[in-house]
Amino acid sequence: MQFKKFQDKLIPNDIELLVPDNSPSNILIYIPWHEKYLEYVQPEFKDFFLKALPKLHARTTDVHTAISLSYLDKIIDLHQDKANRQVVALGLILHDIGWASLSEQEIIDSLSDYKGLVLSETTKGPKERHAIEGVKVSGKLLNDFDFEPPLSAEDKQEILDAVKYHDEPEQGTVNAQLVADLDRLWSFTHENFWQDTIRKDVTPEQYLANLTKDSETYFSTKAGLIIAKELLQDRAKEVEQSK
């Protein structure tokens, strides 16, 4: 793997990072959306993903959601217990859609003051509000989209609950917990790991150690933790190559 300099830090050559104009810091750095990320979205959910996409461009949510979807079938297979694949997929597509309704300062606050996975007090307010706003936007999108076969009222409510509780999965159903774990796997992916070393101003070595430590209590399902540990092994190899 080849690396390049971004400002004064190394990141892999295949990761593109942009800083918004007039950004006060690196916190708002993001990975720009490209059509190649649609390859991560399962064909049967692509039309709905595209319907939601205009509201997913805040906070790298578009790239995050597409890449997290690529682990959908793996986490369901590893989980073994009964899960509703459509509910999990649609809940994941919508889980972060509320960020588009928040201010830039709220987004900055949501990314501030933590170097691993444990949230700071600063982050909690925006996190709670993006879930509330997300439920409002999600309800309209679910009602406006022509699903075939139609979603049941129970499925719609479970999807909305997954959006509401994806940061508090202990309050949700097993489907909501799988949405939460797919969301949290993003932190361990190639793309977000290196993005966050810049956003959080932390060395790759320290961030790897932080993720490894925090991961043990981060997931609601054993399946999520299993996948996270596999991803951590990949990140460890990349960190070693960057030295």
Could you list the pLDDT tens digit for every one of the 243 residues in the chain?
A: 999 999 889 999 999 999 887 776 788 899 999 999 999 999 999 999 999 999 999 889 999 999 999 999 999 999 988 899 999 999 999 999 988 887 778 777 777 654 545 555 566 677 777 888 889 999 999 999 999 999 999 999 999 999 998 878 777 789 999 999 999 999 999 999 999 999 888 999 999 999 999 999 999 999 999 999 999 999 999 999 999
| Half-sphere exposure for 145 (CA within 13 Å, toward CB) | 21
- Residue 159 is part of a domain; what is its CATH number? 1.10.3210.10
Candidates 30, 101, 79, 52; CA nearest to 180 is 79
Domain that holds residue 232: 3-242
pLDDT at 20: 84
pLDDT at 219: 95
Kindly list the distances between the CA atom of residue 96 and the CA atoms of 8, 25, 84, 139, 145, in Å, as whole numbers in the listed order.
31, 22, 20, 13, 18
pLDDT at 120: 58
What is the number of domains present in the chain? 1
Residue 118, token pair as written in the block: 């444990």
Task: List the beta bridge partners of residue 3.
Answer: 12
Cα–Cα distance measured from residue 220 to residue 240, given in angstroms and rounded to the nearest whole number: 29
Candidates 12, 63, 21; CA nearest to 234 is 12
Cα–Cα distance measured from residue 39 to residue 7, given in angstroms and rounded to the nearest whole number: 30
Candidates 142, 139, 219; CA nearest to 177 is 219
DSSP string, 108-132: HHHT-S-SSSSPPHHHHHHHHHHHH
